[in-house]
Structure 1
C-alpha cells in the first residue's frame, strides 16, 4: 500500500460519501418500489380503485436504482468482468488491458455525462404521463452515473488499492 497524501485521502473520503449516497438511492428506491407495488395492488384489487401514478413512479425509481447501482459496482470493481483469459496473460499485459478497459469506461462515462445532460435539459419543459412531471427525472440518472464514474475513475488513477475487486464475483 502506498502512503496516501492529503489529496488522495480527501478524494477517497469524497468518493466514500458519493458511494454511500448511491447505496442509499439504490436501497431507498428498491424499498419504495416494493411499498408502492403493494399499495398499488391493494388499491386495485382490494379497494377496486387503481392508482394512476404508481407505474410511472416505480419506473423512475427503477431507472435510478440501476444507474446508482452501476456506480457502486464500478467503484468496487464488481461490474461484469470475464477475466479468465486476461488472468492467464503476463502481468504487464494484464495491466495494459486494465487501463484500456478503464479508458473505455472513462469514455462511456463522459458520454453519459455529456449526452445525458443534453437530453435531460432538453426535456425539462415537457411533462410525463399522469404525474405531470418532466421526463428529465428519468434522464438525469445518466449524467449522475457518468459524473460518479468519472469521480471513481480518478480515484483509481491515484489510489492503486481501488483497482482490485472487493468481492469474489469474477468469472
Structure 2
C-alpha cells in the first residue's frame, strides 16, 4: 500500500504544480497578450479535483484526517482500539459511497462533451471515483493492520501499541 500512497501523493503534487502552470499561463495570456486560453479553467478544476481527493486519501492512510479526540485522552487503550476501528469503518463506508455515487455521476455525464476541452463530462467525476476507491482501500488497510495488532498511523506518527 505504501507505493500506492506515495504514487497518489506524487500525482497530487504534480497536479497542483500543473494547475498552477495553467492558471499562470492564463493570467499571462489574458493580461499581457490580450488573448485567452479557453481550456485552462476547466482543466485546472479537473486537476484540482484530483489533487484534493488523492491528497485526502493519503491523509486517511497517514492518520491526518479530522477527528475529535478529547474523549480518547480519558479512555483505556482497548476502548480507543474500538473507537478507532469504528472510525475507520465509517470512513471506509464513506469512501465506498464516494466511489459508487461518483461512478453513477460519471456514467450519467458520459455522453456530455465539455466544449472547451472536447472530452467527456465524465472526467469531472473521475476524481471522486478514484479518491473514493483509495479512501476505501486505505481505511480497510488500517482496519486490517489494527486487527493484526500492527501499528497504524495517527496524526503522522506511528504508534507502537497497534492502536
In the other structure, the counterpart of 1:5 is none
In the other structure, the counterpart of 2:155 is 165
Return the alpha-carbon distance in structure 2 between the equivalents of residues 157 and 95 of structure 1. 10
What's the TM-score once normalised by structure 1's chain length? 0.82
Deviation at 1:167, TM superposition (A): 4.3
The 5 A counterparts of 1:18-167 are 18-159=4-145, 160-167=150-157
Return the alpha-carbon distance in structure 1 between the equivalents of residues 157 and 112 of structure 2. 42
Deviation at 1:154, TM superposition (A): 2.5
Is residue 85–residue 143 contact of structure 2 (8 Å, CA) maintained in 1? no
Return the alpha-carbon distance in structure 1 between the equivalents of residues 20 and 144 of structure 2. 39
Is residue 106–residue 125 contact of structure 2 (8 Å, CA) maintained in 1? yes
Deviates more, 1:146-155 or 1:64-73: 146-155
Moved over 3 A (4+): none
Deviation at 1:129, TM superposition (A): 3.4
Is residue 65–residue 155 contact of structure 2 (8 Å, CA) maintained in 1? no
Return the alpha-carbon distance in structure 2 between the equivalents of residues 103 and 33 of structure 1. 33
Distance verdict in 2 for CA 1:91–1:162, change over 3 Å: closer
More strand by share: 2
Aligned length: 154
**Where in structure 2 are there 5+ consecutive unaligned residues?**
159-163
Tell me the SS of whatever aligns to 1:131: coil
Return the alpha-carbon distance in structure 2 between the equivalents of residues 110 and 30 of structure 1. 25
Return the alpha-carbon distance in structure 1 between the equivalents of residues 35 and 157 of structure 2. 46
Deviates more, 1:60-69 or 1:156-165: 156-165
